[in-house]
Amino acid sequence: DKTKPWPREHSGLLKHAYGGTSNYEMVKDLFVTFSNSLDVEFDVGSIALNSTRIVCDYLGIGKSLGWINGNDLYNELSGTQRVIAILEHFGAKRYLSGLGGKNYLETELFEKSGITLEYMSYGVKQYPQMFGGFKSEVSILDMIAHLGVEAPNYFASTIERG
């Protein structure tokens, strides 16, 4: 809901969590950029796309990626059929999904279409965190707060074929 003060509330939570880190200003700037983007579009897909793009731009990764919002593409289809139609529309030969995709993507439809299906298992190397110990189940903002632009050097993901 755009009328709620959640961006301000979240900004306060980020300051509380990361205010003592050496890269807090970077996290703050990213959040401000993200919050400002909410004035343009406010659906879940757009929020996810915009936040991912902002972080990737900051980290200098994904420069060769084409960013699309598939909200208006092939709405008459659903599930794996819709995913494949969008991939074919753009001439994709490969689809990379999170491991959760194993629970719902129909691998036989990918095989039939000739599009390679792969799954990424997300991982991260240990890095020093402000409160001691190491917790890997945190957002990319934690990595940026503690590591800055070095964060991509700590990615430890693996890819497996579907």
What is residue 155's DSSP assignment?
B
**Mean pLDDT, to the nearest integer, of 55-74?**
82
pTM of the model: 0.75
Q: What integer pLDDT is reported at residue 145 of this predicted model?
A: 92
User: CA–CA separation, 34 vs 18, rounded Å?
Assistant: 17
**Mean pLDDT, to the nearest integer, of 93-119?**
96
Q: What integer pLDDT is reported at residue 152 of this predicted model?
A: 92
Q: Specify the higher pLDDT residue, 36 or 107.
A: 107
User: CA–CA separation, 100 vs 119, rounded Å?
Assistant: 9
Q: Using 50, 70 and 90 to split pLDDT, how confident is the model at 3?
A: low
**Mean pLDDT, to the nearest integer, of 118-125?**
93
Q: Using 50, 70 and 90 to split pLDDT, how confident is the model at 6?
A: low
Q: What integer pLDDT is reported at residue 40 of this predicted model?
A: 60
Tokens of 80: 């794996």
Q: What integer pLDDT is reported at residue 95 of this predicted model?
A: 95
**Mean pLDDT, to the nearest integer, of 60-81?**
85
- CA angle at 42 for the pair 2 and 94, rounded to the nearest 5°: 155
**Mean pLDDT, to the nearest integer, of 82-111?**
95
Q: What integer pLDDT is reported at residue 53 of this predicted model?
A: 86
Q: Using 50, 70 and 90 to split pLDDT, how confident is the model at 4?
A: low
Between 44-59 and 24-37, two packed helices, what is the crossing angle to 10 degrees?
Answer: 140
**Mean pLDDT, to the nearest integer, of 29-40?**
74
Q: What integer pLDDT is reported at residue 87 of this predicted model?
A: 94
